[in-house]
Amino acid sequence: MVDYQLISVLALGVAMVGTISLYLKTKFDKKKIVAREEEIVAGAKRKAEKIMAEAQDRALRVLEEARLGAENRNKKLETRLDRIEEKEVREFKKTLGDVATSVEGEATAVVGQKIDEEVAKARIEIEKYKAQKLKQVDDTIGEIVKETVKKVLGKGITALEHKDLVVQALQEAKENHVL
């Protein structure tokens, strides 16, 4: 006779083993999935970290390049500014020199002209003074001479001598075509 009980037990046992196996398998699979998930997440994390690191490096490089570029530009700018400054200073010095030369020239010309004018004025004054003094001397001497002539000759000239002098004057006038 068939032992139904045994069969039932065996069937139950098989069922249980199957269930347990399925359970275990499921559990194993689940574990495997979790592990896979974890692996994927870890991979993604690593990738993300790598990307972040690369981005960070790139950002640092960009920043460094930017800094170097800025430094270069600053240096170039400083160099250009120095050149411009030097040029400006040279031009300023040149302009200053030109102006100084021009002013000096003008000043020299003005001073020279002023001196010439003063000398000319002084000469005129001297000439005037000279002429005035000579006139005074002339007048004085002329008066002395006239007075002397009047005293010595005026009274001494006779009417006859007067007449001869006048005749002589008229003859000279004729010779000179005054008459």
Partner 1 sequence: MFSDRLATLRTKDDVDALLGEIDAYRDSLYKTKGKVQIPPELDKLEETVKKLEVVQLTLAYEPSPQDIEVFFKAAGKILDISKDARILGGAVVSYQGKYSDYSLKKKLESYFFVSPPAFQASPS
Shortest distance, CB of residue 106 to partner 1, whole angstroms?
44
Query: 113 vs 171, which CB is nearer to partner 1?
Result: 171
Taking residue 157's Cβ as centre, other Cβ atoms within 10 Å add up to 14
Residue 156: φ, ψ to 5°: -85, -20
CA distance 23 to 123: 142
CA distance 51 to 46: 8
Query: 37 vs 172, which CB is nearer to partner 1?
Result: 172
Number of H helices, E strands in the chain: 2, 0
Shortest distance, CB of residue 113 to partner 1, whole angstroms?
35
Taking residue 168's Cβ as centre, other Cβ atoms within 10 Å add up to 10
Query: 97 vs 154, which CB is nearer to partner 1?
Result: 154
CA 97 to chain centre: 15
Token pair for residue 119? 């000398």
Query: 70 vs 166, which CB is nearer to partner 1?
Result: 166
Shortest distance, CB of residue 133 to partner 1, whole angstroms?
14
Q: Which residues bind partner 1 (CB under 8 A)?
A: 138, 141-142, 145-146, 149-150, 153-154, 157, 159, 161-163, 165-173, 176-179
What are the CA-CA distances from residue 150 to residues 97, 138, 145, 147 (Å)? Answer: 76, 17, 8, 5
Shortest distance, CB of residue 173 to partner 1, whole angstroms?
4
Shortest distance, CB of residue 127 to partner 1, whole angstroms?
17
Query: 29 vs 138, which CB is nearer to partner 1?
Result: 138
